[in-house]
Structure 1
Amino acid sequence: MPVGTAAPAIEARGLTKTYPGGVAALDGLDLTVRAGTVFGLLGPNGAGKSTTVKILTTLARPDAGTASVAGHDVLRRPERVRRAIGVVAQRSGADPTATGRENLLLQGRLYGLRGPALAARADELLARFALADAAGRPARTYSGGMLRRLDVAIGLVHRPEVLFLDEPTTGLDPEARTAMWEEIDRLAGEEGLSILLTTHYLDEADRLAERIAIVDRGRVVTTGTPDGLKGELRGDAVHVELRDPVDPAAGPSLAAALGASAGVRETVLDGRRLSARADDGAAAVPAVLAVLAGAGVPVAAVTVARPSLDDVYLRHAGRRFADADVDARAVPAGGVR
């Protein structure tokens, strides 16, 4: 290994996983997370994010592919992986009948911590996560934000090298969500933890992750920094809401007409929505409206915006993020996430 380089905190190649009933969760997923960074795994519900986390944390085995975490092979050395990681799952792992302090002490004992050192670590985490006043209360009495903070504290008791945060802010109110974002920033900045964050919130990935991988249908469709991925989309995004759905068969001819007359590109027609890119979105709008009027396509609204991660997703996955999320919710019981 060249001098000055570090082994990846997480590396996965060709991960494949199919659940009973033929539900394909992962289809050759590749992933590399540099040590000491926050890496965002961004995708709609059902994209395969949680299955990826289960494999990387040794809770599931892939049908094919390889993966290592903190330098340890997840299949050959699962016990070493488990000692090197902290995991905050989507559902709380805290014992609801135990107090906050008792939950931290129990987790520490599972990792071999004992005596004054464990007590000091529990006190440190309770103070850090603003839970000291509630330390003697059962976890079932905690608010959603408090319980989520306790979950993160539990994952940090043994000072892991790699922390997995699986949808850490789902269900939190805006204030609790912002507080969690600030804590994740501190974990990465002050402690130098390697963090894999899975989320289906576009703004969360944009705000927290140094690099992201966009996952769709069990594959990574693109990876890079949030700003870099948005920067690849030159110009402005032009989004048109149509009054009535348009036959998809009309899409190619409409896209050609828009390109020729309005100077837009990368046109995507999806029912009552049309999205395109233009070097100067505001200047292109009148021509776009004229082409649509000439084609007998009535318009309800039009917006122009700078590129977003939603536009990145649209470009690489061929559908809008919100539509993919809706599709995923339609997966039958027993589907994947």
Structure 2
Amino acid sequence: MAENMIEIKNLYKKYKNAEDFSVNDISLDIEKNEIYGILGPNGAGKTTLISMLSGLIKPTSGQFKINGLSPQKDGFKLRQIIGIVPQEYALYPTLTARENLMFFGSLYGLSHKKLNKAIDESLEIMGLSKFADKQVGQFSGGMKRRCNLIAGTLHNPKILFLDEPTVGVDVQSKKVIIDFLQELNKNGTCIIYTSHHLSEAEEFCTKIAIIDRGRIHAVGTPEELVAQIANAENLEDVFISLTGKELRDVVV
């Protein structure tokens, strides 16, 4: 039986002055070798859930463990094994790619030699070697996205949280990013991933939880989810069936 990397029990989050819970009684087990998709419409609670698991915000109630560690007791140890790649670029535009990566790598306590080796290898894989000494502010969106991903994975984390890792990139960049992530997963990194790209998620994820209005509506492999819904041909059909056709990108 596979071991769990994450165990979530009855997790709730309500922001100050909010009427509703952003995360409402979520319980999930995520196995160590998984590429686990958390999918849902705008405002479903995806980013809030990932922010709690990665230690950026505290739950209102409920609990979770990551690799057997609890955030209350083992915060420092947890930070050593977690990688976070946010949707917004976490890079300094006036620094070069290498300077950015040296800075972020040093936060993980990697030795100078180890860090330089990891940076050189990652820049090569991501097609950024010849731009290593260019300011990140001059990069295209795809280049920033790839550099952002390197910054969150230099310490070879046991678990990686990704929020929309391929948003706004071209097909070639997307392929390089997905190949890089699959290789990381093959080498033992558990990946938790949110995206609006349902066809990408269908190919990329080993398991998926669909959430809406803070609650889980379905969990399974992409194939299981498609099989559960009558006449569904793909994950998009499942998603619309479970979350409805109401537009979620309107400003009220």
TM-score by length of 2: 0.93
Partner of 1:19 in structure 2? 15
Question: Could you give the per-residue CA deviations for residues 94-133 of structure 1, whole angstroms, max 9, x where no partner exists?
Answer: 1111111111111121111222222112111111211110
Larger radius of gyration: 1
1:165 CA drift (Å): 0.7
Distance (Å, rounded) in 2 between the aligned partners of 1:109 and 1:192: 22
Counterpart contact for 2:126–2:177, Cα < 8 Å = no
Match of 1:192 in 2: 188
Given candidates 184, 209, 213, the residue that maps to 1:213 is: 209
CA distance in 1, matches of 2:17, 2:174: 36
Tell me which residue corresponds to 2:81: 84
Q: Which residue of 2 aligns with 1:159?
A: 156
Provide Cα deviations, 1:146-189, integer angstroms capped at 9, x if missing partner: 11111111111111100111111122233322332232222223
Residue of structure 1 equivalent to 2:61: 64
State the partner residue of 1:112: 109
**C-alpha distance in 2, partners of 1:222/1:5?**
21
Note the C-alpha offset of 1:331. 5.5
Equivalent residue for 1:176, pick from 173, 189, 192: 173
Q: CA RMSD in A?
A: 1.7
Q: Structure with the greater relative contact order (CA < 8 A, sep ≥ 6): 1 or 2?
A: 2
Show the counterpart of 1:39: 36
Structure 2 unmatched ranges of 5 or more: none
Aligned to 1:222: 218
Q: Is 2:232 aligned against 1:312?
A: no
Segments of 5+ residues of structure 1 without an aligned counterpart are 237-305, 333-337
**In structure 2, do the counterparts of structure 1 residues 106 and 159 end up closer, same or farther at CA, with 3 Å as the change threshold?**
same
**Preserved CA contact (<8 Å) 2:97 2:133:** yes
**8 A Cα contact 1:39 1:196, kept in partner:** yes
Q: Are 1:93 and 2:90 counterparts?
A: yes
What is the match of residue 28 of structure 1?
A: 25
Quick one: percent identity of the two aligned structures?
34
Does residue 140 of structure 2 align to residue 140 of structure 1? no
Deviation at 1:195, TM superposition (A): 0.2
For the residue of structure 2 that corresponds to 1:182, the secondary structure is helix
Cα drift, residue 92 of structure 1: 0.8
Amino acid at match of 2:9: R
Question: For the residues of structure 1 that align with 2:122 and 2:201, how far apart are their CA atoms?
Answer: 25
How many residues are aligned here? Answer: 251
Q: Is the 8 A contact 2:2 2:31 kept in 1?
A: no
- Give the conservation status (yes or no) of the 8 Å contact 2:126–2:176: no
Separation in 2, partners of 1:207, 1:111: 32
In 2, Cα distance between the equivalents of 1:122 and 1:208?
Answer: 25
Do the aligned partners of 1:57 and 1:74 also contact (CA within 8 Å) in 2? no
Cα distance in 2, alignment partners of residues 171 and 162 from structure 1 = 24
Structure 1 runs of 4+ aligned residues shifted over 3 Å read: 314-317
Q: Give the TM-score, by structure 1 length.
A: 0.71
The whole-number CA distance in structure 2 between the counterparts of 1:212 and 1:133 is 37
Confirm or deny: 8 A CA contact 2:209 2:217 kept in the other structure.
yes
Deviations 1:229-271 (A, max 9, x none): 111234x3xxxxxxxxxxxxxxxxxxxxxxxxxxxxxxxxxxx
For 1:111 and 1:207, how far apart are their aligned partners in 2? Answer: 32
